[in-house]
Structure 1
């Protein structure tokens, strides 16, 4: 804007550094010319000051743009929550709005377990719990409600408004039934099939704390919010200021990982400093919610291939989070990776399995010059995430220095 203003000034008022002196200039014309030159110089100096101020402001607000990509339920939103705890204003703005999300997460988990019990044809271990089971059989739209509330909670956080409390009322009406059913051996047996019935990873956490969640004055803790499952709708932008960093401002774009949401990614691909790609390494035995014929880990690998080798990202560094290692450690005690990945020939232990999946992702990269930084993460663990976020900050700073030609 200042540049165009300068051009206008030069055309209207003349160039003070190379003034045109007409031949046979009269004293009056000379006087007017000198006046114009003074005005032009004054105008130019004002523009110089404006340009300098704009440059200084740009330097002060220099930011890094990062894309947070990955399949649905890989843990992207949890990482953003951790960033708010570590480098933002914490989770206070959304704390109360998350109460109904926590309540819906509990209802969703128990609905999945009771549906599995019904479809398997098994009976409850304690006949007294039949009345509680009947109450849940009447709840038919819990997952739809959860997805709808994912949208409304984001709007509530943005607009700082509270939505209706229907979800929490439904939860409190069913809290006694949830506790009774969760203590039933038949329901616990259904829980062992968590991967097959689409049960969310944090289901046990929520079902173990029903009594606390049912208190009239319940306010979600940081751990409750970190464990809560919220489906990202559309694209959300988050800004974090990291003091002492260069750049100091990080703009992170979180996009929905559900297949139906991926069509909205492209407009955010321009001018990206780095990509954080998340994959749930524990999902090797699970299928997509939107397509039960597709293995979640294979979907993540295919998506990573597409992103990693996209023409716009050919030289863009990627920070790969292989997430949910805490769940993986427990899962491989009972489930064999080779039953889902026939190409896996190693031992069914944590180190061998994680190395295998790391190689699987790195093998997708067709550009040997591209840097891919791998982290094994437990996104709900704030202590671990502090270390990893610091590492990501260092990586982005090195990228910034490299782009500036300083290294």
Structure 2
């Protein structure tokens, strides 16, 4: 064991020595582009990369974050409110006063919220909290299969009554967990000891994906992200017929790898939202949506292996010799994602060394 450790240390020192000798050739900006469908978690990874670089929230970011949290709270509770109002038996249980409160939540818009003063905003937060705390409603949304945003559980746990208070100050964890669709192109450069890593985040909506090609010629390595928790979801984009979300992601990845600009470009593959996948697969059989699945039913480990194999088999079919680095990720987990980013940087560093002929 000691010999193995000594060998690894010796190898690391050799690489450091090589870099020092040929630093002029090695130091450069390496670019990767975050690709994947909308809601895959690309923007969350971009935030985590900034945190890896010790990013601190500015006053402007905190102000914007509060309003993003307002929007996330609203989009989390409105599907619950709408479902409650459609359940006549439940409406009779909760009474007319609560029903009026729910109607007020159901018709609220961000435009209306932006016109409220702080006292009225605080009051709205209290109304939402009252709604969520009602024992009949809590039982309903805890036991009913509702399609809610991924961030809904987090937003409810943060207590809307507090979020809408003037004194509320969002945290880094809030920043990581909120969702706001990427519009246009976001770039961030991460400085490491021996290279600069430029990360390009582009929108995942179908209309945005048409613009991806404009950035492909700058890319050294591809980063593709898929939300594996969507294995049971049907998605419909623009004029297309509904299709399984994972199969949609596989089609997008195929288009990416088939692009002439990206031929033989190494691939970092993030199979994301494993936390939601783990909860969901306990109650939603994978074989219901993928009849070819032959693993144990309702089993997380077998399910992960199956989904991972779907992606790796596709990559191998397109280019059996392509360097691919798969990771099972939970992008809102700061500690786990930090380790993944470190591993990714190491992989990119080694690929860069090979490309410069500094190691074989």
Q: Give the TM-score normalised by the residue count of structure 2.
A: 0.83
Aligned to 1:84: 50
Aligned to 1:355: 305
Secondary structure of the 1:201 match is coil
CA apart distance, 1:287: 3.1
Aligned to 2:75: 108
Q: What is the 5 A alignment of 1:108-187? A: 108-119=75-86, 123-124=90-91, 125-127=93-95, 128-139=97-108, 141-142=109-110, 165-166=114-115, 171-184=121-134, 185-186=136-137
CA apart distance, 1:104: 0.9
Secondary structure of the 1:231 match is coil
Q: What is the 5 A alignment of 1:209-358? A: 209=158, 210-242=160-192, 244=193, 246-247=194-195, 249-288=196-235, 290=237, 293-347=242-296, 348-358=298-308
CA apart distance, 1:57: 11
- Output the CA distance in 1 between the equivalents of 2:217 and 2:207: 21
Aligned to 1:189: 140
CA apart distance, 1:134: 1.7
Structure 1 residues not aligned, in runs of 5+: 1-55, 147-163
- Output the CA distance in 1 between the equivalents of 2:116 and 2:23: 46
Structure 2 residues not aligned, in runs of 5+: 1-21
Q: 2:332 aligns with which of 377, 380, 385?
A: 380
- Output the CA distance in 2 between the equivalents of 1:357 and 1:376: 10
Q: 1:192 to 1:340 in 2, by over 3 A?
A: farther
1:4-58 Cα shifts (integer Å, max 9, x gaps): xxxxxxxxxxxxxxxxxxxxxxxxxxxxxxxxxxxxxxxxxxxxxxxxxxxx998
Contact 1:235 1:254 in 2 (8 A): yes
CA apart distance, 1:349: 1.1
Instruction: Please tell me whether residue 208 in structure 1 is matched to residue 176 in structure 2.
Output: no
Instruction: Please tell me whether residue 99 in structure 1 is matched to residue 66 in structure 2.
Output: yes
Aligned to 1:400: 352
The number of residues matched between the two structures is 327
Secondary structure of the 1:264 match is coil
CA RMSD of aligned residues (A): 2.6
CA apart distance, 1:354: 0.6
Aligned to 2:17: none
Q: 1:57 to 1:346 in 2, by over 3 A?
A: closer
Secondary structure of the 1:363 match is helix
Query: Which of the pair has the greater relative contact order for Cα pairs under 8 Å at 6+ separation?
Result: 2
1:125-158 Cα shifts (integer Å, max 9, x gaps): 422411211212322x55xx69xxxxxxxxxxxx
Contact 1:68 1:255 in 2 (8 A): yes
